[in-house]
Structure 1
Amino acid sequence: MNLALSQGTVLGYCSCHHGEILQGVFRDSDGRLCRGLTTLPVFGPGVYAEFTPVPGTDPEELSVHPRTKTKAATAAVLAGAECRRRGRRGSCGGRIRLTSTVPLGLGMGSSTSDVIATVRAVAAGSGVSLPWNTIAAIAVRSEGASDPLMLDDHALLFAQRQGRVLERFGKALPGVIVVGCVTGGGGTVDTLRVGSGAEREADVRAFQRLRGMLGRAVSESDVALLGRVSTESARHNQRFLPKEELGALEEIAGEVGAAGVQVAHSGNVAGLLFEPDAPGLRGRLRECVRALNRRGIPFSHLFRNYPVPEGRETWTSTSRTRSAARTWCGSPTGSFAFDSRR
């Protein structure tokens, strides 16, 4: 999404995700082994990149603030070069300022959000619309691996180290309500340092099976099957980024009737998935939060994985006590609320 502001300034935007539903090693259409993932979208937190052109400057003079956003700075240069390659000879340099509500290092795609928002802003400033695969290629060159946040319509299996789609599942993921939490004490994770292990044939077969199950879950809008996929994927990835809380999260899921457990395979966010139309949902959500508190797992926020039409209810917590976890959602309004202390 790109927005025009005054005096030639434009905005690029990118949302984030809440970790993965599935991540592993798969075979592509040619039978080659390839690492891939399917992320769980989040609506709300994201990154805005404000690009202000400076007429008369060298097109390669693109400054990014905060200066710590080095991946976004690399992406800005690559995006500018791509725009010039497409014939925008009159482009100039400029300033890019990033504003983010995505936590860093928790596995929510913060760096990819920075990169994509930056690319979109630079492209908009040059009057160019870059296709998703070009944005993906720039993101991979800037980061070494990229989440599929440049593609936000249908569920898909994405090769994060190559920036290509392995499979499109035809529809969005089944709608779920997610009770989010933070594992590992909320510590940050260097995602590129997370080991992925050797491609054992047994693992490949297991992930291929989960891939097929995910396809059925999407086509049939089956939340229960989606929960099975995400839980099994979390178990398989324990040997790469172990989460001491996974056993407790699975116990809680069984106690409160959640469809399954979902984790960031290269971060510390996690969640329990619920069918939006499940009987007694509000009571189950309250009990889920209480169960997390009893086990010392910080509850972070409650959210949907699909957009809510304007004027419809929004899910939030009205607990008077602050969560021990960092809360990254704003203060949404709506008709539904619950007090996790009850």
Structure 2
Amino acid sequence: MAEACCPASCGELIQGWVQGGEHLISCPIDWFSTVEVSDAAPLTTERPKMRAMLSAVLKHFDLPAELGKGLRIRFDSTIPVGKGMASSTADMAATAQATARHLGHELSEIELARLCVALEPTDSTMFHALTLFDHKAGHVLAHHHWQPEVELLILESAERLLTRDYHRLDRQPHLLAGAPLLGQAWQHMEQAAERHDPAALGQATTLSAIASQQLLAKPLFAELLALVEHEDLLGLNVAHSGTVVGLLLDPARHDGERLAAHLSRPPFTNHYPRVHRARMVAGGVR
């Protein structure tokens, strides 16, 4: 038996046309999908993508597909599905590493990334560092080795949007129109990582979120931006291919409990019935 876990993401820090294509940096948080692989008959409660990943790992190690009939997948995850919180990536990456470990191997981050993107567009949460990632081709464009001390208030919508449905949208014109804003966001992101500056990080995420409104508008976006300004928060970020919004807080300066209580009333609850508190963590499969 072997186990692995991978963090969720509160949307993306940035996503859009940057560095020559549509790329992203995920926002790993302290929610996890934990997967266990053992020698036993498969369960009917498995998620299909987990089984698909187990089969992909067997193929990766040139092992017969028949071996999968004797491998059981158990999982524990409270990550909301279809909200843009990288639930599928967490499930797939954790399954891949748990399967590899059960077989006596350890997959590298880039191997995990390639296995995941072979199944569907993927978040960058399998990387320990904040990583600018081609979520469709699996290429790494940059790593930022800095762990921000940031708390998030996550506004969860009742609406769902599956990754495959988002990628069916005609996004190219909007992505290109948003490229100047994403260029600015990328500059702020690089400054944030170089100077260890959460304020610059918030500027990057907010610019990317503004650009994303042209593609996938979030309800009460103007009101949330006004709250960021009024409370002098670090910024906000969004799930660019999902429905959640995150408010970035400095835990040393901002009262997360008070702000969560404020967001737990109308008009916010009309569109975001659940508010969660989380903190940014390093990515990577544990």
Q: Structures share a fold, TM > 0.5?
A: yes
Instruction: Tell me how far apart the structure 2 counterparts of residues 64 and 36 of structure 1 sit (CA, whole Å).
Output: 36
After superposition, residues 130-145 of structure 1 pair within 5 angstroms as: 130-142=107-119, 144-145=120-121
User: How much does 1:220 deviate?
Assistant: 1.2
Offset from partner CA, 1:192-240 (integer Å, 9 cap, x none): 2223611565533332231121010122122222111111111111122
Name the structure 2 match of 1:21. 13
Tell me the CA shift for residue 294 of structure 1: 3.7
- CA shift for structure 1 position 65: 4.7
Counterpart of 1:189 in structure 2 is: 161
Cα deviation, residue 255, structure 1: 2.0
* Greater RCO, 1 or 2 (C-alpha within 8 Å, sep 6+): 2
Residue 312 of structure 1 corresponds to which residue in structure 2? none
Q: Is the 1:63–1:73 Cα contact (8 Å) retained in structure 2?
A: no
Q: 1:253 to 1:100 in 2, by over 3 A?
A: same
Compute the TM-score of the two structures, normalised by the length of structure 1. 0.73
CA deviation profile, 1:91-123 (whole Å, cap 9, x unmatched): 984111222111111111111111111111110
Aligned to 1:250: 225
**Which of 268, 282, 285 is equivalent to 1:296?**
268
Q: Residues 39 and 268 of structure 1: is their aligned pair in 2 closer, same or farther, counting only changes over 3 Å?
A: same
2:123 aligns to what?
147
SS of residue paired to 1:150: coil
CA distance in 2, matches of 1:120, 1:64: 19
Contact 2:85–2:239 under 8 Å retained in 1: yes
How many residue pairs get aligned? The number is 274
Larger Rg: 1
Work out the CA distance in 2 between the residues paired with 1:258 and 1:40.
17
Q: Which residue of 1 aligns with 2:172?
A: 198
8 Å Cα contact 2:32/2:77 also seen in 1:
yes
Correspondent of 2:215 among 232, 240, 244: 240
Distance 1:82 1:228, change over 3 A: same
CA–CA separation in structure 1 for the residues paired with 2:195 and 2:118? 36
Alignment check: 8 A CA contact 1:83 1:128 kept: no
Q: Deviations over 1:43-77 (max 9, x none)?
A: 1x2112221125xxxxxxx846524x222211110
Where does the alignment leave 5 or more consecutive residues of structure 1 unmatched? Answer: 1-8, 28-32, 55-61, 308-342
- Preserved CA contact (<8 Å) 2:181 2:208: no
Is the Cα–Cα contact under 8 Å of residues 264 and 275 in structure 2 kept in the other structure?
no
Distance in 2 separating the partners of 1:276 and 1:261: 15
Q: 2:190 aligns with which of 201, 204, 215?
A: 215
The 2-side partners of 1:53 and 1:101 are apart by 25
C-alpha displacement at 1:251, in angstroms? 1.4
Q: 1:80 to 1:219 in 2, by over 3 A?
A: same
The more displaced of 269-278 and 34-43 is 269-278
Cα drift, residue 242 of structure 1 = 1.2
1:162 matched to 2:156? The reply is no
Q: Are 1:252 and 1:288, in contact at CA under 8 Å, matched by a contact in 2?
A: no
Task: Give the AA of the match of 1:129.
Answer: E
Give the equivalent residue in structure 1 for 2:2. Answer: 10
Give 1:47's aligned amino acid.
S
| Contact 1:18–1:107 (CA under 8 A) maintained in structure 2 | yes
Give the 3-state SS of the residue equivalent to 1:167 in structure 2. strand
Correspondences of 1:51-130 after superposition (within 5 Å): 51-54=37-40, 63=42, 65-67=44-46, 69-84=47-62, 93-130=70-107
- The percentage of aligned residue pairs carrying the same residue is 25
**Take 2:89 and 2:249, find their aligned partners in 1: how far apart are those partners?**
27
Residue type of the alignment partner of 2:27: L
Give, in angstroms, the shift of residue 299 of structure 1.
4.5
Shift of 1:263: 1.2
CA RMSD of aligned residues (A): 2.4
**Following TM superposition, by how much is the alpha carbon of 1:269 offset from its aligned partner in structure 2, in angstroms?**
1.5
Query: Counterparts of 1:287 and 1:158 in 2: how far apart (Å)?
Result: 32
Match of 1:286 among 250, 258, 262: 258
Alignment-derived partner of residue 50 in structure 1: 36
